[in-house]
Amino acid sequence: MGGGNTYRLARSFRMNASQSTAPALNSRAPLDLRIDGAYSERNSAPAYWLSKKIFGNQIKTSQGTIAMWIKPNYFPGMSGKPRVNLNMDRYHAINHKKLNPSPFTLIYMASHDKPSYQASLSENGTPYYQCDPNVYVGSGANKLWSVMNLPPMALGWGYGYSSTTGYDSSWAEGGTLTPTLNHLAHPDSSKPSPMQAHKWMHVVLTWETRDKEACKIYVNGKFVSKTAWDKTYRYNSNVDWTLHGDNSRNSLRLGSVSRFRNSNTWGHRRNWPADATLDELYFWSHFAAGGQVAKNLWKDGRYRKPVSGQEAYYLSGKIDLTGGQRVLPSPSLVQPLLTTGTNVSAVGSSLAASSPKIRILGASWTWFTGKVDSSTGESLLDDNATKNEVLHPKVTLSILENGTETAPLTDERYSTVSGPDGLPLELAGDFQYRVRFSIPDQQFDSILLETPVFDDITIFYQTSQSIFVHYVVE
């Protein structure tokens, strides 16, 4: 916490070598984290009730597939704490002080045994499940069992329940982990880095408790995980996971609760919020088609491709720039008296009243993407269907009046606006502008994880009145 910030965890910034203090931060998350999804942070996470129809009558029959898009609000290479992106943990009432709640979680592993931007020694290791004698020395049930050799900057997906906490005679503990998902600025930076700050990543999770190998993670359409389970795997428990041990409803949470059970004797408080934008959540009650689901949703991309002739566009509201102009009044009907005083002549004004008009001279606007050609300044988009291909998006503007549209304006720095006759466009009423987005060189299988951002349009125009500056007294 600091300054006027509500949650420092939802902020990100970079400091130059010459800086010694952090910059002033706004009390909101960056706009790109809220504009196209649900932002999950501490004390704020969307949740959905679990039902037997979806999750299964008992944990022994549970299976499913979950898919969603995740956009982290942190730099994985500089992250120092775990983060829970999806959570279905269950409170058990039997032996409630031991290993409570029972986990069913997608968690981000932030462990790193090297300084930021250096490759970790554990990146190439194979995770496994066993007792860690360095944490808890004992025998039998007194030992602390866990997944070991965790890769840094990875996602872990799994669950855990056993007879010691009321799940009949079962013993199912472990899960699956991805390899390191971020190699930016590392010696091995040529490896894929699908998990990056403020960039979308697609994740598909599958499970079927009767088969531990069905617990899988797909990242951006590819199966990437390795399993790590207790060798003694007994899944057969009749416990209803959709209810907690006190019979209250369990839920699927996009993020993590800030604390679990406010008690002086047991429970925990943990600061593991997702700190991410989440969107397009899908939940299927079967896992068999999980691999195909992952590929299909990934191929659709985070954003739809603008098909030629069906490009996305933005149409503004009606704009009227004619208001406030000084115009000639209506003709006078007052009859002035003649100087002779003998006759009255009806003399009216010969000038007709004028209506306000404007002449649109040109327009300029701003648009950008997340990648720029350093030699030309051109905004580019990554085609995520291939490794190194880039796309060249285009943004054009046009002016509409009474259904008539000008030719597309293409130069965002400044484009002259002309009517059909080639002269500046004169308008006597309101008008609108239309912004069109296109990607002429996209392919049939191109995959988009971002779109151009349009902002700051300026319309240059001239009024029909003579400009009144001020009075001068002589």
The single residue listed with the structure tokens 């390899």 is 179
pLDDT of residue 325: 67
Q: What is the mean pLDDT for each group of 10 consecutive residues in the chain (474 residues)?
A: 37 63 57 68 86 93 94 86 92 79 90 69 75 51 66 91 90 91 83 92 95 93 86 92 92 82 63 89 84 85 84 87 70 61 51 72 92 91 86 93 89 90 84 92 91 90 67 65
pLDDT at 394: 93
Per-residue confidence (pLDDT) for residue 313, from 0 to 100: 86
Is residue 394 a contact partner of residue 441, using CB atoms and an 8 Å limit? no
The whole-angstrom separation of Cα 228 and Cα 426 is 71
Strand, coil or helix: 297 = helix
Angle, alpha carbons 105-80-149 (nearest 5°): 60
CA dist., res. 307 & res. 172, Å (int):
48
Domain boundaries along the sequence of the chain: 31-300, 313-323+354-463
pTM over 0.85: no
Q: One fold for both 31-300 and 313-323+354-463?
A: yes
Residue 328: what pLDDT? Answer: 63
Bond prior to 133 in cis (omega within 30° of 0): no
Longest dimension (CA), the chain: 129
Q: Which two tokens stand for residue 392?
A: 């060249």
Beta-bridged to residue 381, according to DSSP, are: 391
| Class of the CATH domain delimited by 31-300 | mainly beta
Query: Which two three-digit tokens encode residue 200?
Result: 């979308």
Q: Report pLDDT for 466.
A: 57
CATH number of 313-323+354-463: 2.60.120
Quote the pLDDT of residue 203: 95
